[in-house]
Amino acid sequence: MSVEMIQERLAAYGCASALEEDQALREISQEIILAGLGRTDFFNRAGFQGGTCLRIFHSLNRFSEDLDFALRQPQAAFQLVPYLKNVCQELTAYGYKLEIDDRSSGGQTVKKAFLKDDSLGTLLHLHYRPRSGPLRKLRVKLEVDTHPPAGASYQMPVLDYPFPSAVRVFDLPSLFAGKLHALLCRNYLKGRDWYDFIWYTARRIPINHDLLAAALAQQGPWAGTTLTTTNAWCQAQLARTIERVDWPRAKADVQRFVKPRELPSLDLWTTEFFLAQCRKL
């Protein structure tokens, strides 16, 4: 019966390619993993953040790969794997036979692990199943920041699928602060960051400046400094970044995460367009 629930959910996506089908199955799996974590005390200790949080709880119109979390309080001894073992047991009822690939190591601030499955696809009717060879293994990456910057605020929505489960999530101003920190400090180009930036600015989401300032002081070019960020400060710093972006490369990064009908909007991506978005802060 649980496998039938996944089949019905997959059909509702209306996938038009193998890539969309893979992304849909990963997203369904992400939701089931979140629900599984909700049956532990995980969300007493951590909050859900990042692009997948925006996708699942705020209908961001792009797929996102990873599940990103941050502890509410720093805890160097935090262990992710015990929670994942509980999730694996929970997900057996849905046809998963999950393997835990722990990528954490001693001294790492961010705990990392993959949940992998190569059995669920054999139980589902996939429209874009490969004609030969093995099915592609499902992989979901999870990361937990065990030494997060201070200042985040949270909400506690209920995830409805596959069963009601409360999930602690960063509120929108805190999510936007995390995205701005990435835009200002990431040392490589990630077009998905700029796609999300448009989402926030189009909705005039305010910035959690306490969280942004704490994050900038912790990591990036401003590490170790004491900042008081403002909207005007963010506009000035972002404008410098926008002037340096290779927009064709940024668009190429985003394309596989959006549906074909979204692609024409990427033609707007120029320095002038993003400077205009920046002025909406």
Summarize pLDDT for 225-272 with one digit per residue, the tens. 999 999 999 999 999 999 999 999 999 999 999 989 999 999 999 999
What pTM value is reported for the model? 0.94
Which fold is adopted by the domain 1-170?
Nuclear Transport Factor 2; Chain: A, (3.10.450)
Question: Strand locations in the chain, DSSP E?
Answer: 46-49, 67-71, 99-102, 110-117, 138-145, 154-155, 158-159, 165-166, 169-170
- The residues spanned by each domain of the chain are 1-170, 172-281
What confidence tier does 32 reach under pLDDT thresholds 50, 70, 90? very high
- What the block records as the tokens of 81 is 């794997």
CB 127 within 8 A of CB 21: yes
108 compared with 268, residue with greater pLDDT? 268
Summarize pLDDT for 138-185 with one digit per residue, the tens. 999 999 999 999 999 999 999 999 999 999 999 999 999 999 999 999
Summarize pLDDT for 34-93 with one digit per residue, the tens. 999 999 999 999 999 999 999 999 999 999 989 999 999 999 899 999 999 999 998 888
Mean pLDDT across the chain, nearest whole number? 93
Alpha helix (H) residue ranges in 188-230: 191-202, 209-218
- Residue 74's Cβ-side half-sphere holds a number of Cα atoms within 13 Å equal to 9
